[in-house]
Amino acid sequence: MSGSQEKEKFNNKTIQWINDRMPIFSMLNNEYGKFPMPKNCNYFWNFGAIAMVMLVIMIVTGVFMAMNYVPSTAGAFASIQHTTREVNYGWLLRYMHMNGASFFFIAVYIHLFRGLYYGSYKKPRELVWIFGVVLLLLMMATAFLGYTLPWSQMSGWGATVITSLFSAIPLIGGGIVTWLWGGFSVGQPTLNRFYAFHFLLPFIICAAVFVHVWALHVSKSNNPAGVEPKSEKDTVPFHPYYTAKDSFGTAVFMIVYFAVVFFAPLILANPDHWKPFNSLQTPPEIVPEWYFLPFYAMLRSFTVGIKVAGVTLLTAKQQGVLAMFGSILILFFVPWLDKSPVKSARYRPVFKWALRLLVLNMVMLTYAGALPAAGKALVMGRIGAAYYYFFFLVLLPYLGKREKTLPLPESISADYAAHHGGGAMKKALIPAALALGLALAPHAARAADTPPLPNLHWPEQGIFGHYDMAAVQRGFQVYKEVCSNCHSMKYIYYRNLESIGYTKEQVKTLAATYQITDGPDENGQMFQRPGRPTDHFKSPFPNPETARAALNGALPPDMSNLVNAREGGPNYIYAILTGYVPAPKDFHVMDGHMYNEYFPGHQIAMPQPLVAGQVQFQDGTPNTLDNEARSVAQFLDWASNPHMEQRKRLGIKVILFMIAFAGILLATKRKVWSDVT
């Protein structure tokens, strides 16, 4: 961003004084004030600004998350629980940060598609593009590192799988993996360094964004017609024209983002993220975040080594790793793979469809990546990888030379006159919808060997839904009398029960019925004392080993997060509790196990916990199995999402505000643009 030499005049004396010594205001004015923008840019051009806003949101929420985070294998998961449950607005920080990563990727993927579609990587913007790809790589690294920090099952195993990719390097691969881990498996040293890098990288991203924008401001923005400005008439100053348009676009994007944050914050997250990391047990399916799935699908689709004369040249693993990393690295070469003199796909009839097909191909790969690695998923992965490489290595160079392009518009002004108001916004919605579809595709891909879960109505469902506190209290009674004999709920305090309608006194009396181990006292002895409201729920067993020893080797999961940690949430809980049926004749049930229709694999170690009439509800509700199961599911839903009501209430306000704000911004934008012809 070159500072201009001639002295500018400002009305404000202080500004003038500063500017004479350090021409920062001149620079701002040159780069964001009068900076010439082609006047025909459509809404696709918003996504750079949107990505920038997301970056800021991620850094801000991230720094505040960091204030509550403990980077230790023993404390990380608990500290995230503490943040979400106990810290004021901690749930908001976490859900904004968690979903912010997804929306950052949505914005960046659309931005990248825009660049490909309108040829923004071509001369003279090659460097802008290259720094963009560097940014993409940095973002991916940061996102991966962040994914490991909650130290959940997905975190630990995601970290294991991704770092193990480097073991594909011949000879030194194993050493590199040990070096990355700082040990012989993913553990404390790994978590510590990942945290350090997750904190560091965003600032490197900021620096790279600066360079990316700098390069852009030298070559100036491309536009949908792909012809360069010829005269002053072709451009408008950045401010107020594009500040207005970007603000409006960003506000609309924020509405969708906030809708997810407040009303469906877990929709993009894998339930295994709510189970603490167990380094000795891999979850039955490892799935990365949706934005990595296409690449993950390519990684998995190679299963046969390449052998020449009996010597393995490339193992299947090496091929997969190469295909995956190659798919990103190939983007660096796009400016030289595509030599077509025409930039915009609008005037390239074949390229346009080849590129749209590439987008569909990515959707297919995303879907394939979420399926278990067998059969259909592998076939789709192979086809997808083949088309991906075919597009970049064959179609791009070939079309660049051979395609018969359409005549270009005379100038940007001519293009503007032709396209003005022509549904450009509607067009930007298509890829936005696609990207959201991409994000949700994994949900469609879940496989199941169990019957579909019952789809019950829960009062807490929906935007206006809230907990039925009477049912939640009944559920607590079921937990207390039945579940708590084996299951802990170690992230819940007794005092939390006040928020489901118990009085302070009731909670105090209840807590006091438990004996809590405390100490050491002044003699160095541990002692027992009655529980207090500020104690966590007392666990039935002092440690997992005792639990296993008492329960025939089975370890009952902690129930604090059970609803979030199971696909299907309360429906799943209900289904398991009511799913004990006699085993089919040909089904062999192992010793110490029961048959359950809805349990994956059907063999469950937990004996049927609830039967009709088991609990005498204090409020006189009939104690059918249905009622017992329903109420405990609601109690557990509350335990997993104690701030759900506050979240939705705030969400409605935020969304209404944002809609009004977007409306004002749209009116402003219209007014500003009304003099452009």
- Point out which residues bind another protein (CB under 8 A): 157, 160-165, 167, 174, 178-185, 187, 189, 193, 279-286, 300, 302-303, 305, 315-318, 320, 372-374, 590, 593, 601, 603
What end-to-end distance do the CA atoms of the chain give, in Å? 30
- Residue 219 contacts residue 124 (beta carbons within 8 Å): yes
- Closer residue to another protein in complex, CB, 217/317: 317
- Closer residue to another protein in complex, CB, 196/660: 196
- Residue 96 contacts residue 651 (beta carbons within 8 Å): no
> Has 221 been annotated as catalytic?
yes
The CB-of-184 to another protein minimum distance in angstroms stands at 4
Which of 26, 155, 246, 327 is flagged as catalytic? 246
Which of 31, 72, 126, 217 is flagged as catalytic? 217
Which of 245, 273, 487, 593 is flagged as catalytic? 245
The CB-of-581 to another protein minimum distance in angstroms stands at 19
Parallel, antiparallel or unpaired: strands 235-237 and 603-604: unpaired
Q: Can you tell me the distance from the alpha carbon of 164 to that of 174, in angstroms, rounded to the nearest whole number?
A: 8
> Has 289 been annotated as catalytic?
yes
Considering only CA atoms, which of 630, 318, 338 is closest in space to residue 473?
630
DSSP string, 160-216: HHHHHGGGGSTTTHHHHHHHHHTSSSS-HHHHHHHHHHHHHHHHHHHHHHHHHHHHH
Residue 42 to residues 37, 165, 477, 530, 584, Cα–Cα distance (Å):
12, 40, 58, 67, 61
The CB-of-568 to another protein minimum distance in angstroms stands at 20
Residue 446 to residues 147, 271, 382, 408, Cα–Cα distance (Å):
21, 12, 20, 47
- Closer residue to another protein in complex, CB, 189/349: 189
Q: Can you tell me the distance from the alpha carbon of 374 to that of 1, in angstroms, rounded to the nearest whole number?
A: 52
- Closer residue to another protein in complex, CB, 30/366: 366
The CB-of-413 to another protein minimum distance in angstroms stands at 53
The CB-of-576 to another protein minimum distance in angstroms stands at 18
> Has 97 been annotated as catalytic?
no
The CB-of-107 to another protein minimum distance in angstroms stands at 30
Q: Can you tell me the distance from the alpha carbon of 417 to that of 40, in angstroms, rounded to the nearest whole number?
A: 9
- Closer residue to another protein in complex, CB, 330/373: 373
Burial zone of 601 (CB within 10 Å; 0-12 exposed, 13-18 middle, 19+ buried): exposed
Which of 79, 120, 152, 221 is flagged as catalytic? 221
State the CB neighbour count (10 A cutoff) for residue 518: 13
Q: Can you tell me the distance from the alpha carbon of 169 to that of 324, in angstroms, rounded to the nearest whole number?
A: 14
- Residue 111 contacts residue 135 (beta carbons within 8 Å): no
- Closer residue to another protein in complex, CB, 284/520: 284
3-state secondary structure of 135: helix
- Closer residue to another protein in complex, CB, 127/204: 204
- Closer residue to another protein in complex, CB, 245/593: 593
User: What b-and-e string marks burial along 554-572, b requiring 16 or more CB atoms within 10 Å of the CB?
Assistant: eebbbbbbbbbbbebbbbb
- Closer residue to another protein in complex, CB, 282/503: 282
Burial zone of 259 (CB within 10 Å; 0-12 exposed, 13-18 middle, 19+ buried): middle
> Has 217 been annotated as catalytic?
yes
3-state secondary structure of 80: helix
- Closer residue to another protein in complex, CB, 32/325: 325
- Residue 135 contacts residue 205 (beta carbons within 8 Å): yes
> Has 567 been annotated as catalytic?
no
Say which amino acid occupies 564.
N
Q: Can you tell me the distance from the alpha carbon of 489 to that of 38, in angstroms, rounded to the nearest whole number?
A: 59
Q: Which two tokens stand for residue 606?
A: 């937990």
**Active-site residue set:** 217, 221, 245-246, 289
